[in-house]
Amino acid sequence: MRQALQAEQFRAELLVAGVQLLLAAGLALGVAATPPDFAPDAPVQAVPLGLSLFALLVLLRLYAAWTGQLGPALLAAGVVAEMAVLIGTLALLHLQYEQPPQFALKGPAFVYVFVLIGLRALRFEPLWVAVSGGTALLGWVALLGWSLWRAPSNPLTWDYVTALRSFQIHFGAEAQRLLALALFTATLTLALARARSLLRRALAQQHAVADLSLFFDAAVARRITASEAALSAGQGERRQVAILFLDLRGFTPAAARLGPEGVIALLGEYQRLVVPIVRRHGGSIDKYLGDGILASFGAVAPDAVYAARALRAVDEIVRAVDGWRAARTRAGLAAPDVGAGLATGEVVFGIVGDGRHLEYTVIGDAVNLAAKLEKHNKAQGTRALATQQAYEQARAQGYEGEKALCGQVGVVGAAELMNLAVLAGRPGQ
């Protein structure tokens, strides 16, 4: 989470620098496009000088950020220096226009103090807003004190109209200006502190979703984190789904030869091959059962073409496993085959558990039947079987594959004879 915040702050610093440079460029163009309103022999040209110094500071900070050298100390120095340049430019305006020192307090350029503080909010770090605002407050107090000290005659007045029409300083107006600056800084700092706390929680939730996806199907992880109600065992929804049960054929003898490490490596290789195919076709992994995989299509979220997606997934899995087995055989490694059983029907997709350990799963006859069909492949001499109903539903949903149909077949564990579709025969068939 800290790395994510740092990356975001780096991008924000680039954004701050970009906006500041655009602002400086816009003001410079405005100065260049308008005729000079001060004497050519003025002691100093405050605005061009201030813009040049400000742009130089921004470029130096941008270089430091880009090269990874912008630490907290250097950033603090940059924030203070930028505000000091702005306040200093305002202070020099009376020399540019050859007026008394109080003139520096009269211009509308004071609004750029707020602009500069506001830009610091783009980093989502309240500290730098506080530093910028604090520097502005101290700078303006210093400018006010310097104007009073250097004033040639009576500098103060309590008459607001007189203050507007002369160089005299209205004490109440200056107090309100400082109060506005302090309140703006404090409010923005507080808002940023709250927003940063929310950002941290949002990033933590985002990473929690990513971590959950390591242990749950990604769609299930999103469902868990997006749930507005408390999760508890017994919650469920009815769905029309396709259930796919996959199992490795010849895994037991292969495991006996490979040993524990080899078994885990084989399973990992097989799952990395098959699972992405299931997900690519809209399926969700319900659970891993040793060398078996239980997947559902249309359970986590309703899907109008769940059966077609499931059959396309089986076709691609069979082709991928054929290539995988051929490569392992050439390498002299164990190459178990895959068996698949597919059934469709209504299931309950919901939460089971004891309250301390919960699990999303699918429950229904289709789940049990898919497992039975996977086992029946051995008796049928096939690699992948589906109910004829599932095959016909897939065809109705846009599946274009042609599959052989079996007549009335007895499946172990099924009470009645069933019509089946052969999704994949023996290798080479």
pLDDT at 265 over 60: yes
First CA to last CA across the chain, in angstroms?
Answer: 52
User: If you search the block for the tokens 């249309």, which residue do you land on?
Assistant: 298
The pLDDT assigned to 225 comes to 55
Q: Answer whether 369's CB lies under 8 Å from 294's CB.
A: no
How buried is residue 310: exposed, middle or buried, by Cβ count under 10 Å (0-12/13-18/19+)? Answer: buried
Which pLDDT does position 219 carry in this prediction? Answer: 62
- Do 392 and 376 form a contact (C-beta atoms < 8 A)? no
Reported for 47-54, long-range contacts at CB under 8 A and 24+ positions apart, including other chains, are: 47/89, 47/93, 47/96, 49/89, 49/92, 50/85, 50/86, 50/88, 50/89, 50/92, 51/24, 51/27, 51/89, 53/85, 54/20, 54/24, 54/82, 54/85, 54/86, 54/89
Q: State the Cα–Cα distance between residues 74 and 393, nearest whole angstrom.
A: 67
User: Is 302's pLDDT higher than 90?
Assistant: no
Dump pLDDT digits (tens) for 342-366.
999 988 877 666 656 556 678 888 9
* Residue among 360, 174, 332, 315 at smallest CA distance from 258: 332
- What is the predicted pLDDT for the residue at 355? 57
Give me the pLDDT at residue 206, please: 66
Q: In the numeric block, which tokens belong to residue 361?
A: 């799963």
| Domains of the chain from N-terminus onward | 2-212 (no CATH), 232-424 (3.30.70.1230)
Of residues 158 and 128, more confidently modeled: 128
Confidence check: pLDDT of 416 > 60 = yes
Share of the chain above pLDDT 70, in %: 87
Return phi, psi of residue 332, to 5°.
Answer: 75, 25
Identify the residue with better confidence: 174 or 199.
Answer: 174
Q: Return all residues near 108 (Cβ < 8 A) that are at least 6 apart.
A: none
Residue 253 confidence (pLDDT): 78
Write out the two tokens for 258. 């490979």
Beta-carbon-side half-sphere exposure of residue 278 (alpha carbons within 13 Å): 27
pLDDT over 50 (residue 165): yes
Q: β-strand 283-289 against 292-297: which pairing, if any? A: antiparallel
What count of other Cβ atoms lies within 10 Å of the Cβ of residue 252?
10
pLDDT in tens, 202-237: 766 666 666 555 555 566 655 555 554 544 445 667
| C-alpha closest to that of 362 among 410, 310, 422, 311 | 310
Select from 231, 214, 224 the least CA-distant residue to 353: 231
Q: Where does the pLDDT of residue 132 fall: very low under 50, low under 70, confident under 90, or very high at 90 and above?
A: very high
pLDDT tens per residue across span 47-76: 889 999 999 999 999 898 888 888 889 999
Which pLDDT value is given to residue 171? 78
pLDDT, tens digit (0-9, with 9 covering 90-100), for 307-324: 999 999 999 999 999 999
- From the list 310, 282, 277, the residue with the least C-alpha distance to 384 is 310
